[in-house]
Chains A and B, each alone.
Chain A
């Protein structure tokens, strides 16, 4: 079937019969794919999808813009290059954590232990690599920390995917248990400073200004190249491509936003004679993991199965998908990426103590929801988690500049979460679902 030629134009007897019988509507030459038409048609189609409830990351981006405008008006410090760099480095651990959680949330599962998992792993890292103690090579210690994350993910995956215990219960248990494990590893009241310069550098050092521009160029080249591969495949298969103008528009948007960000970060934001310029190193690291994860979710069978299981596990099973293995793998990915989030966090804070990561996981879940990832599974992308995390980091950062009492931040964050969940629920109704599910 796959090797036959392009769709034939001359209707066969059978097709003519089908046309004359029934409702009299002619059989279309080819069933559409929504890729046809010019920029205007595509924009209209997109608008109708948004009106139909498929809003994706739109509400979060709109919220981000509103927050930026509000804080810029409220505080003269907010939109300075120094605070902007600070905001990005504050957001990075949450972005990583939210992206980690998206892998399991897409399955309709949850990992409440992601934060403490990062705490246990980073606790191992500091205990192993600390110059006052075991003095292990820091790279080796980091690999052990990552392996510990993967092992924890394997453990969770076993109980959830294999034994069939709800992930909420398993990871709640670990959330409690690992707080104890952290105490055992680090010691009550203990605190280890991060001494390895390379780890500190992740959040504190910056790219050279020219490297920032190279980063933008690489992003543009990769976007262009993947889009061209897609187009070539579609052309080869004889199905329509979206108008190429859309690709140019997308690349221009990336170039403009990326260009503004890099230009802003390349300003000297030092407060003393020492110049501080450039994009924080954590930014390209995070973008790389975002790209890699998105590639896996959008373009591989594993990603396709993750969405399928999130949508209808029984359908996935009957289609011959190894549901247990996919679920299991998702938990391993989540816990491993949670350790990366912990690494960023430790780099930012400069130390690891016995309560490291105990407060963060719900911010990660909130970030994913704010970004438009559905807790019911099957809907959402990594970029949603990332944008949601930036929204939450922006609230913390902006309110911090306003000298408000400490509790306000949490109140506002909670309010934003409920607002976002409401937007999700209402959009689900508009997309044809019901309010309760």
Chain B
């Protein structure tokens, strides 16, 4: 098996007396989709916030490309190539697609925005993801559908050579057709060699795209297995705690 791009070992995190992550281990592989599942409050968001540098872990080690790294703030995560697509999309409705994709990292020349260059790169990134639902990259985001917005948010994450993309419930609140489109996009991310970590409550979506499934239960990783080696019923059992995984974690 390939070398993991991200490897978390014995991660803990507490909020005051409440211990939310109790020694969690997780691997994300390049070119593979790892689904992170678990019931509400299991600690999924807390786990990825640490990876994003938004909310550093209390203890444990983070290896990136097999080197131990500290993730103390968002900039360190970005510098490593870790990008997060948040549940609430974090796009600016009043700006067009190009400006949104480049927000905070605009191309400039002589101190002025190089709109041509940005438009070209945005367009190329969308094309490399085979996006065909977006007519114009100069459309305002306010005019886009939920799926198109999710597309823009995901495209934004891979604009600058991301190595790991973390998606927090990318298909929540999407219709059938749009869910399918976004899942196809997630697959294409992995095909580009990106390590994808996807949080989802929808096991149909998970089994549709995931290579690996990691189940978090009350702050502990109770199962990490290949998607082809398990069933939806089993995973539901691990999530609710009614079944115990006895195999070896991948």
Q: Which residues of B contact A (CB under 8 A)?
A: 74-75, 78, 86, 88-95, 99, 103-109, 111-117, 119-121, 123-127, 130-132, 134-140, 142-143, 159-161, 180-181, 184, 188, 191
Contacts and interface: CB of A to CB of B under 8 A. Distances in A.
B104 A33 contact: no
B108 to A, nearest CB: 7
Contacts of B119: 33, 234, 237, 239
Interface stretch (A69-77, A159-167, A250-258, A304-312): A304-312
A321 B115 contact: no
Interface in A345-389: 378-379
A76 B132 CA distance: 60
A237 to B, nearest CB: 4
Interface in A299-353: 299-301, 304, 307-308, 310-312, 314-316, 318-321
Nearest to B161: A1
Q: List the 5 shortest-distance A-B pairs measured between CB atoms, nearest first.
A: A319-B104, A311-B92, A234-B116, A237-B116, A311-B94
B172 to A, nearest CB: 18
B130 A18 contact: yes
B138 A433 contact: no
B64 to A, nearest CB: 19
A235 B92 contact: no
Interface centre among A33, A319, A320 (most CB of B within 10 A): A33
A432 B103 contact: no
A22 interface: yes
Contacts of A314: 88, 90
B142 A30 contact: no
B245 to A, nearest CB: 34
A97 to B, nearest CB: 24
Contacts of A405: none
Contacts of A318: 74, 86, 90
B116 A236 contact: yes
Among B103, B115, B127, B135, the one with the most A-chain Cβ atoms within 10 Å of its Cβ is B103
Contacts of A38: none
Contact of A312 (B92, B106, B135, B140): B92
Contact of B124 (A1, A33, A315, A433): A1
Greatest chain B CB density within 10 A among A15, A25, A320 is at A320
B49 to A, nearest CB: 12
Interface centre among B93, B106, B116 (most CB of A within 10 A): B116
Contact of A4 (B74, B75, B124): B124
Contact of B132 (A25, A299, A431): A25
A300 B112 contact: yes
Contacts of B112: 299-300
B94 A307 contact: yes
